[in-house]
Amino acid sequence: ASVPHSRGSVDETGGQSTPLISTSGELPFLLKVLAAAEPLSLQAHPSLEQAKNGYARENRLGIPVSNSRRIYRDPFSKPELLCALGPFEAFCGFREPTISVDLLHSIGGGASVLARLLTDHDLDHLLHYIFSGTEEIRILLTDVVEACAQHDSPHAVWVTRLNTRYPNDPAVVASLLLNHVILSAGEALYLDPGNLHAYLSGTGVEVMGSSDNVVRCGLTNKHVDINELLATVIARPLPDPVLRPTPVRRTDTGHLWCYETPHAPFQLSIHQINGTETLRSQTRELILCGVGRTDRLHRGEVCYLGPDEEITLTGKATLFRVDESSNQ
């Protein structure tokens, strides 16, 4: 077992660090702890086919990978799982249109116009309209924001807050179409490619495909590409975006749960230990100590296990275990 002392390196020889990749090889997933002190961008991640095509296209155009306007920095998809460490707030996926229609009508003003458009058409049509950039929509969106200031629903309150930070940004109003989620510790969001989402506040463990491809449409000072976002987003309802862990094993000294992510190149499990437990890997695995401490792994430290390796830990801690999935 190898314990990383800093990002991308492992301590194997009593304090001497070597790059993690030299021990593990290229891992198909990334692991990080995300702390959203303020809302992050409204974004989606491309499918594998879109990533391959976009990467090749931007290469042909000669856009450097380091260029801030580059979208496709690699030819890979980026499925994503966010597991909350405490209360975590987000917009994630589209609500059922009938629910959005009711909310928009209750807000009134320009929001009622959006409600009628959604009733007569579909989510994809309304999303294109909101991001059309015409003078007509700019005036309408201003009216929607003003109406939200008089409404006390969580969506309307967030519109007011986001508009203060990003005035005249159509993504502010687009958030009215999304599921508003407040996760408790241990609950998670799984984001397939094409899922429109924004993290609003909170801390969580984030696991994702090994890719830097992000398509943004607003709520950010970074590069946005509306046309690419509209081509990436899958505009269909996501009724319940919250993912809860499935119990796997319970002993006197440990409980193990896992999150079902059948199309991802990774699987996340939570292992709570209270005593001595031996953890054995089947594939390459990273183990993050999220809460508590053990004799060999303290809070915030990460351990790497190669295939068929094991580590014995004694203590009281909540461990986040990420390994390669064979269910893609």
Q: State how far the Cα of 269 lies from the Cα of 254, in Å rounded to an integer.
A: 13
HEC-encoded secondary structure of the chain: CEEEEECCEEECCCCCEEEHHHHHCCCCEEEEEEEECCCCCEEECCCHHHHHHHHHHHHHCCCCCCCCCCCCCCCCCCCEEEEECCCEEEEEEECCHHHHHHHHHHHCCHHHHHHHHHHHCCHHHHHHHHCCCCHHHHHHHHHHHHHHCCCCCHHHHHHHHHHHHCCCCHHHHHHHHEEEEEECCCCEEEECCCCCEEEEEEEEEEEEECCCCCEEEECCCCCCCHHHHHHHCCCCECCCCEECCEEEEECCCEEEEECCCCCCCEEEEEEEEEEEEEEECCCCEEEEEEEEEECCCECCCEEEECCCCEEEEEEEEEEEEEEECCCC
* Number of alpha carbons in the 13 Å side-chain half-sphere of residue 84: 21
Establish whether 296 is a catalytic residue: no
Active-site hit among 73, 216, 284, 321:
216
Letter for the amino acid at 276? T
* Number of alpha carbons in the 13 Å side-chain half-sphere of residue 234: 14
For the annotated catalytic residues, the residue numbers are 216
